[in-house]
Amino acid sequence: MKMRASKISTMRTWGLLLVLGGMGLMVLGTSGILLFGEVGKIIAAIFMVIGILTCGASMFIYFWVGMLSTSAPVLECPECGKRTKMLGKTDRCMYCHTILTWDPAMATAGAPPAGGETEERPAAPV
């Protein structure tokens, strides 16, 4: 799985998108009153409930991320030197997006060779 940001930042982004989406749904539903009259009130009520549920889901996500963040171990990034929080065995630095890991089997000694070339390994003897 490829990530562009740390797990905590990604979850916070989803929470923000849910808040904005819920607010947008509520505003869109309110415009139904202006466009459709009496039927618009029913449309507005439906969109208002969906928007409130979406904002409630984002509140749950923010609460969950806050609880995860308090128990996440803090470590110093080897690339940028800033302190960052890490969830799970692998994560990314919140600042420079360097891949970090606790598992020595997943750690790499360095960056891949330039130009995307892979070095060829001799076949194992049979």
Q: Name which of 106, 98, 102, 97 is nearest 87 in CA terms.
A: 102
Q: Which residues on adjacent β-strands are paired with residue 101?
A: 90
Residue spans of beta strands (DSSP E) within the chain:
74-76, 83-85, 90-92, 99-101
Full-model pTM: 0.71
Say if 35 falls within a structural domain.
yes
Q: Which residue type sits at 110?
A: G
How do residues 21-70 score in pLDDT, each as one tens digit?
A: 999 999 999 988 888 888 889 999 999 999 999 999 999 999 999 998 88
Domain count, the chain: 1
Q: Is residue 26 a part of any domain in this protein?
A: yes
Structural domain that includes position 19: 7-72
